[in-house]
A and B are shown apart, each in its own frame.
Chain A
Amino acid sequence: MDTTTGSAGDGTPIGRRIVLGLAGLGVAGILGGRAVQERLATWLAPIESRDPTGLTSLLPLGNAFRFYSVTGGVRHKSAADYRLDVTGLVERPASYTLAELRAMPQTPLVRDFQCVTGWRVPEVRWKGVRLADILDVAAPTASATAIRFRSFDGEYTESLTLDQARRDDVIVALEMLGRPVTHDHGGPVRMYVAPMYGYKSTKWLSAIELTADVVPGYWESTGDYDVDAWIGESNGREDDPA
């Protein structure tokens, strides 16, 4: 038997086959990966939740939140120094404390969190004040048609039309995953716009400003993503809404 591994010219082109094989695997994964991901996540969720080392969180097991922040560090806000300002084209501007928001009627939702880049966390428990209730108190003027959300990270903004904002599944979220919204998830108060991609759900919400026109938000002003961000009906064709 030939015992040399190196001469040029002969042998089987295994390297090329591996490259093509991996490319094929990649394409198969694009087409069918979502189903595999969901099955994996179902099987592995019990292990992940009981893993004392936290090592499983380093694996891409899916169905986990990924934390996006567009600035260099966001300062923490406590219940004492948090304020939600309602400003712009309204009859009654307001500045809510966390306690005041908690005292308003709370709407629970169990809905998916879907990121435009493809990852999704299924059946997240949310609770908060319907944005429609806050708008009713503020009484938008006749010229108001849209809302601009601001974040106390100092950078991020988002928008909704007034009609979108009045939907029942659009809330100013105070709870997420069964507990108060944590800082990393955008707490103490964030938006949750259930029918739209995650970038509409402004984290670290600091102000709700009524405007005469839709002002495209942080990821929209550069043309990264669509302003009307309906899940499955924007950013690339139709699909099952979450």
Chain B
Amino acid sequence: MKLQRFSAGERLVHRAVAILMVACIATAAILYNGFLAVPIGHRRLVKLVHVWSGYSLPIPIVAGLISAAYRADLRLLNRFRPADWAWLRSRRRRDGTIRVGKFNAGQKLNAALTAGSIVVMALTGTLLYFPDLVRLSWRSGATFVHDWFALGLGLLVIGHIAYAVRDPEARRGMRTGAVSMSWARDNHLAWADDFEADDSEAAGSHAVAEAPPVR
């Protein structure tokens, strides 16, 4: 049995954000590192791609709000419960003692840190791109913040990709929208249980059965 994890709209948001984020990081690497900046050059073009990718990045994130499934997942990501703190502290967080919902606390933390970093990158990037806006010392401060947040955000993205690489079923969930019940029970037990409860109550209103559900 397959469980519906992400809607088509959510997957589209994820795809768009991923492409824009990679464009930002690739151009940032060229703009920042001398060993790339001098041979590749074309600073105006690289800067243009960087700035437009950066300003476009929040668009899919905000546009997703028209999707109810996306809004529901944002609510789940936003809310931390006592079990989330226990999960973060626990060394046995993967063994199922703590019943993890649709998102574990690490995913919630990653979502919040990434969203906050995007806000900061957009704000400081604006000050760097429009030098008339503020005085020089604030611009120096904005450079300082943009640099360090870029490092932090880059590490978050690398970590996110590293977890995805290790887990083909999680990737399948984001690519096709559905995951196996066994994966869900191993990683998101409370979420899997919700489906089973729904199953018995409402004949699989959310679950995607192998055969189309009878309505």
Any B CB within 8 A of the CB of A124: no
Any A CB within 8 A of the CB of B177: no
Q: Output the nearest chain B residue to A23 by Cβ-Cβ distance.
A: B119
Quote the shortest CB–CB distance from A24 to chain B (angstroms). 9
Any B CB within 8 A of the CB of A167: no
B183 to chain A: which residues have CB within 8 Å?
A: none
Chain B interface residue count, Cβ-Cβ cutoff 8 angstroms: 72
Quote the shortest CB–CB distance from B99 to chain A (angstroms). 5
B101 to chain A: which residues have CB within 8 Å?
A: 4-7
Any B CB within 8 A of the CB of A80: no
Any A CB within 8 A of the CB of B43: yes
- Assuming the A-B contacts A70-B41, A225-B131, are A5 and B105 also in contact, with contact meaning beta carbons closer than 8 angstroms in the complex? yes
Contact yes or no, A22 B117, CB < 8 A: yes
Contact yes or no, A21 B116, CB < 8 A: yes
CA distance A102 to B9 in the complex (A): 65
B145 to chain A: which residues have CB within 8 Å?
A: 26, 29-30, 33
B180-197 contacts to A (CB < 8 Å): 188, 190-191, 194
Partner of A23 from B123, B131, B132 at Cβ < 8 Å: B123
- Assuming the A-B contacts A8-B76, A60-B148, A184-B38, are A237 and B120 also in contact, with contact meaning beta carbons closer than 8 angstroms in the complex? no
Interface-side segment among B13-21, B134-142, B159-167, B201-209: B134-142
B137 to chain A: which residues have CB within 8 Å?
A: 34, 239-240
Q: Output the nearest chain B residue to A27 by Cβ-Cβ distance.
A: B123
Quote the shortest CB–CB distance from B145 to chain A (angstroms). 4
- Assuming the A-B contacts A33-B144, A65-B34, are A19 and B115 also in contact, with contact meaning beta carbons closer than 8 angstroms in the complex? yes
- Assuming the A-B contacts A22-B113, A30-B127, are A4 and B81 also in contact, with contact meaning beta carbons closer than 8 angstroms in the complex? yes
Any B CB within 8 A of the CB of A52: no
Contact yes or no, B81 A23, CB < 8 A: no
Q: Output the nearest chain A residue to B109 by Cβ-Cβ distance.
A: A18
For B37, B102, B141, B190, which residue has the most chain A Cβ atoms within 10 angstroms?
Answer: B141
Quote the shortest CB–CB distance from B200 to chain A (angstroms). 18
Partner of B119 from A1, A2, A8, A22 at Cβ < 8 Å: A22
Quote the shortest CB–CB distance from B190 to chain A (angstroms). 4
Interface-side segment among A71-79, A87-95, A138-146: A71-79
Contact string, A7-40, partner B, CB cutoff 8 A, digits 1/0? 1111111111011111101110111111011000
Partner of B132 from A20, A117, A184, A235 at Cβ < 8 Å: A235
Contact yes or no, B120 A116, CB < 8 A: no
Can you list 8 A-B pairs, Cβ within 8 angstroms, ordered by A?
A5-B100, A6-B99, A8-B76, A26-B145, A60-B148, A69-B41, A236-B139, A239-B135
Interface, chain A (partner B; CB < 8 A):
1-16, 18-23, 25-27, 29-34, 36-37, 58-60, 62, 65-74, 114, 116-120, 153, 183-184, 222, 225, 231-232, 235-240
User: What are the nearest 10 A-B pairs in CB distance?
Assistant: A6-B101, A22-B116, A60-B147, A33-B141, A11-B79, A33-B144, A26-B120, A29-B145, A118-B143, A118-B139
| Given contact pairs A15-B77, A22-B117, A119-B140, a sample of 8 additional A-B residue pairs in the complex whose CB atoms are under 8 Å apart | A1-B86, A15-B111, A26-B119, A34-B141, A62-B147, A67-B34, A67-B37, A118-B128
